[in-house]
Amino acid sequence: MTDSALTIEHVRKDRGKTTVLDDVSLRVASGERVALLGHNGAGKSTLIKTILGLTPLTDGQIRIGDAKPGSAVARRTTAYLPEAVSFHPALTGREQLQLFARLDGQKADVPGLLDRVGLRDAMDRRIGAYSKGMRQRLGLAQVLLGNPKVALLDEPTSGLDPISRQDLYAIIDELAANGTAVLIASHALTEVEAQTDRIAILRKGVKVADDTLQNLSAQAGLPTRLRIRASGDNADQVAEATGGTRINGVAVEILCTPDRKMDALRRVAAMGEVITDIEMTPPRLEDLYRHYAREGAQ
Ligand SMILES: Nc1ncnc2c1ncn2[C@@H]1O[C@H](COP(=O)(O)OP(=O)(O)OP(=O)(O)O)[C@@H](O)[C@H]1O
């Protein structure tokens, strides 16, 4: 990877006698969207805190571009959206964002930004009267304000309705398209499956996976599910010929590993008109996550 906006190298973080991050390396390129997954306590928030320079490393190093975490340059070029973002309840959305812009020394189109995150009608209302989703949108406006090189989003869609989630990912896509490196810590597997370029999984502070969904699938060798529909009362014959399992009157299911998939498809296709339909379901991120996050997997 040539253009690494965020470089994490051999990071170790001990808390007392516990190692909460163990030799973690991760790179996020400009314009890339990487999901950071892991069970509760896996170390995701700790990793984000180390990137922000909020907690010192025991070993290893992190760079935002060429800058060290916590340095003036890193702070200027890194944006962070915490899971439960909080603002001053007495300010309006517009006042809060204007305040951030002033603190950043920026001339920003505050109403334009608030419009972009869907807060046009609410920008002059007090934040104390905002819903969680509206506060989250305001947080995203704050992220956009800085035009950051690196954006760290911690559970950005938690508590949002489906439409707000889609809106939020549309804005994240826009950030990435403008060159921001985006790291999203999340438990929402179905969302990140569709919305990120790469998946990194932490287990007990150790990175156990870091690749595209497609490559992780291939490496894990998890089976693809073929569901075959048979004509008439041929399901038994199809089950016997393919070694599959009858799942109802007309369908047979076969699980095949990546190396057996094409062979199985050819055999099924050769059965001619006995087969009326084939549905193919590749392993989902949920299956991969279970595979990589489980004890003993690597
Ligand atoms: N301030 C702290 N002091 C001591 N230990 C901590 C502190 N913060 C986190 N830990 C420990 O570090 C480990 C990693 O926690 P972390 O919050 O990074 O996990 P996480 O992956 O973000 O979890 P979650 O999905 O629940 O937010 C846990 O064992 C946790 O107990």
Return the domain boundaries, the chain: 4-218, 223-282
Kindly indicate whether the domain formed by 223-282 is annotated with CATH number 3.30.70: yes
For 198-207, how does the pLDDT look when each residue is reduced to its tens digit (9 = 90+)?
999 999 999 9
Integer CA distances (angstroms), 83 to 46, 158, 160, 173, 272, in order: 13, 7, 11, 19, 54
Question: What pLDDT shows up at residue 295?
Answer: 65
For 74-120, how does the pLDDT look when each residue is reduced to its tens digit (9 = 90+)?
999 999 999 888 899 999 999 999 999 988 777 889 999 999 999 99
pLDDT confidence band for 147 (50 / 70 / 90): confident
Tokens, residue 260: 């057996």
User: 83 alpha carbon to ligand 1 midpoint, in Å?
Assistant: 14
Residue nearest to atom 13 of ligand 1 (CA): 41
Percent of the chain with pLDDT over 70: 98
What is the model's pTM?
Answer: 0.85
Cβ of 38 closer than 6 Å to ligand 1, yes or no, is yes
User: 5 alpha carbon to ligand 1 midpoint, in Å?
Assistant: 25
Cβ of 41 closer than 6 Å to ligand 1, yes or no, is yes
Cβ of 148 closer than 6 Å to ligand 1, yes or no, is no
Per the CB < 8 A criterion, the answer to whether 160 and 134 are in contact is no
pLDDT confidence band for 297 (50 / 70 / 90): low
Question: What pLDDT shows up at residue 254?
Answer: 93
Question: What pLDDT shows up at residue 282?
Answer: 86
User: 42 alpha carbon to ligand 1 midpoint, in Å?
Assistant: 7
Average pLDDT over every residue of 211-216: 89
Question: What pLDDT shows up at residue 1?
Answer: 44
Cβ of 40 closer than 6 Å to ligand 1, yes or no, is yes
Residue nearest to atom 9 of ligand 1 (CA): 46
Domains 4-218 and 223-282 are alike in CATH topology: no
Residues 6+ apart with CB under 8 A from 117: 137, 138, 140, 141, 144, 167, 171
Cβ of 15 closer than 6 Å to ligand 1, yes or no, is yes
Cβ of 42 closer than 6 Å to ligand 1, yes or no, is yes
Percent of the chain with pLDDT over 90: 57
Q: Does residue 293 register a pLDDT over 80?
A: yes
For 36-56, how does the pLDDT look when each residue is reduced to its tens digit (9 = 90+)?
999 999 999 999 999 999 999
User: 159 alpha carbon to ligand 1 midpoint, in Å?
Assistant: 21
Question: What pLDDT shows up at residue 211?
Answer: 94
Q: 3-state DSSP call for residue 292?
A: helix
Residue nearest to atom 5 of ligand 1 (CA): 15
pLDDT confidence band for 159 (50 / 70 / 90): confident
User: 48 alpha carbon to ligand 1 midpoint, in Å?
Assistant: 11
For 264-287, how does the pLDDT look when each residue is reduced to its tens digit (9 = 90+)?
899 898 989 899 999 999 888 888
Cβ of 68 closer than 6 Å to ligand 1, yes or no, is no
Residue nearest to atom 29 of ligand 1 (CA): 41
First to last CA, the chain: 23
User: 33 alpha carbon to ligand 1 midpoint, in Å?
Assistant: 23
pLDDT confidence band for 166 (50 / 70 / 90): confident
CATH of domain 4-218: 3.40.50.300
ipTM rounded to 2 decimals: 0.95
Residue nearest to atom 1 of ligand 1 (CA): 15
Question: What pLDDT shows up at residue 8?
Answer: 98
Cβ of 251 closer than 6 Å to ligand 1, yes or no, is no
Radius of gyration for the alpha carbons in the chain, expressed in angstroms and rounded: 24
Per the prediction, the chain carries an average pLDDT of 90
3-state percent helix, strand, coil for the chain, nearest multiple of 5: 40, 30, 30
